[in-house]
Chain A
Amino acid sequence: MEKKVEVLVCYGTLCHLMGGSDLQLLGELLPLDLQGKVDLKGAPCLNFCNEVDNGKPPFAVVNGRKIEQATVKKLIQEIRVELEKK
């Protein structure tokens, strides 16, 4: 069984305010070929927002890698990057 790409989306209030609310649609916007290959979870504030060096919200984590200014499009790209690694 192929290991799924783990995507953790920050559902913290700050990320939500700064554009993160759209990320809640990631699950249904996944292209057909990616469906079933992603383990999608939401998390309370991941605390990335406390450190300026982390970049700008909204944040997400794809297989342990922090993604700043996350958008649905950007996350789909990052999921593909992870799948190609294998």
Chain B
Amino acid sequence: MAVTNNAMLIRRDLLTHFIKLLIEDNLADVDRIPLEMRPKNESSIRCCIYKDRAVLKYKLMGMLGFSSRDEVDELIPLSDYARKAFNGEVQSDKILTVVDEACSSCLKINYMVSNMCRGCVGRPCMVNCPKEAIKIVDGKAKIDHNICVNCGQCMKVCPFHAIVYIPIPCEEACPVNAISRDEDGVEYIDSSKCIYCGKCLSACPFGAIVEKSHLVDIFRTKKSGKPLVALVAPALAGQFGGDLGRIIHSFKMLGFSQVYEVAYGAEETARLEAEELKESLNAGEKFLTSSCCPSYTMLVDKHLQELKPFVSKTATPMHYSAVKARELFPDACTVFVSPCSAKKREAMDDANVDYVLSFEEYGAWLVAAGIDLNNIESETISEPPIAEAREFAISGGVTNALRVALNSSNLNDTQVNGIDKTSIRLLKSFVKNPEANYVEVMCCEGGCVGGCNVITNPKVATRQIKNGKK
């Protein structure tokens, strides 16, 4: 997510340090990263620099695909894990993991009486509590958390705003209740429920949720001499100043032999989805929903089966462009450049996509390689895709592309712009009462420009994509 906080900046800094070593082919020095980032005699963020360093170590382990909980011998250095990962000896299918050392085990208490309580005579909190969970102790209200059901009535009625709601940020952000505390009080992600939207990753103020990286795999492939093809997602056009020509050129500088725009795949998705929409409406179906957001399709598969018949069977732009790239460059390794972790999950099931590089990792790679996008040439794009295809990354963009493909302006459409508990309820209601005959669903607010791995502020990115199409 683009809205920055220090936990995100630490992650980007960590990635930059790590990629520098990958460029130097010097992973043996990876043990030095925590010391470089938290040198002696500098103030610590957690209790002491030693804890800070340990957390950085475990975050790196998570990025390499090892779970800190699987650690059996604490003396095994990070460099050993890095070597294993570089040699391709990790077979973890976990994309998002919680670093137990970093998780603060946020309190499971949702409502708390603060010291602003005046112990008033009216005591509306006590009177209105449906469970009689509030008593007055030493002249102040006190909630008995064994009885409290977190309804929040007390907070609403307190005239002094003395009762506060304390969320668990990751649990609050997760739209599908896939993350919860285990018996040790540490958060755990249930992969049978997770839709890989990455909202927890952005929400955790301790940066405890780590995404597995494919960087080691990409560098291993590069070292082997196999050519790399970057599949550049439409959302990337809005990042880093928005000059797609320069972005494309930068991939060549980083060692990619080809760059293929996923917007070409988006053209294909729009064309096929338009046909599908026509056919299904002709066949008497009530409505069709988009299918290009993998978080949404996973949401349907895991939590909203009743919606399944209405989800488009058309594949995502990533898939069509990967098929095409494989055809054009059969000996190359395909790397999808992605705004979110859901795409990483989607790629795992797509034989045509070998690895995924997040926007964040790409940015950190540029910095590690000393490339400033302002100072490099811009490559001319000889056969640009249609403008609407590049706008797939913006909420409403898929619908627009479809409208163009259908050559019709009377498309009766609606958009679900961001998946949360409320929009999930709305989606459910469509089965009985569809509001429209085409529903575009984007898991992230604003579309892919708001993905969990984006760098640029979504507002700026949206503007840059729109300007770029001229």
Contact = CB atoms under 8 A, between A and B. Distances in A.
Most buried by A among B364, B372, B457: B372
A21 B455 contact: yes
Q: How large is the interface on B (under 10, 10 to 19, 20 to 34, 35 or more residues)?
A: 20 to 34
Contact of B363 (A16, A22, A44): A16
Q: Which DSSP category, helix, strand, loop or mixed, fits chain A's interface?
A: helix
A17 B372 contact: no
B367 A22 contact: no
B2 A21 contact: yes
B364 A17 contact: yes
A13 B376 CA distance: 11
Contact of B241 (A11, A14, A18): A11
A18 B372 contact: no
B3 interface: yes
Interface string A1-45: 000000000011110111101101100000000000000000011
B12 A18 contact: yes
Q: By CB atoms of chain B within 10 A, which of A13, A24, A25, A44 has the most? A: A13
Contacts of A17: 12, 16, 360, 363-364, 366-367, 455
Interface in B319-374: 360, 363-364, 366-367, 371-374
A16 B457 contact: no
A44 B9 contact: no
Contact of B4 (A12, A14, A19): A19
A13 B460 contact: no
A60 to B, nearest CB: 15
A13 B459 contact: no
Interface string B370-385: 0111110000000000
Which bracket fits the contact residues of A? 10 to 19
Given A14-B367, A19-B4, A22-B2, A44 B457 contact: no
Interface string B1-12: 011100001001
A13 B457 contact: no
B13 interface: yes
B368 to A, nearest CB: 10
A22 B2 CA distance: 8
Contacts of B9: 18-19
B13 A13 contact: no
B456 interface: yes
B4 A16 contact: no
B375 A16 contact: no
B287 interface: no
Contact of A13 (B2, B3, B367): B367
Contacts of B196: none
A30 B3 CA distance: 18
Contacts of B240: 13, 16
Interface of B: 2-4, 9, 12-13, 16, 240-241, 360, 363-364, 366-367, 371-375, 455-457, 459-460
22 contacts: A11-B241, A11-B374, A12-B372, A12-B374, A13-B240, A13-B363, A13-B372, A14-B367, A14-B372, A16-B456, A17-B364, A17-B367, A17-B455, A18-B12, A18-B13, A19-B4, A19-B9, A21-B460, A22-B2, A22-B4, A25-B457, A44-B372
Given A13-B372, A18-B4, 6 more contacts: A11-B374, A13-B366, A14-B367, A14-B372, A16-B240, A45-B372
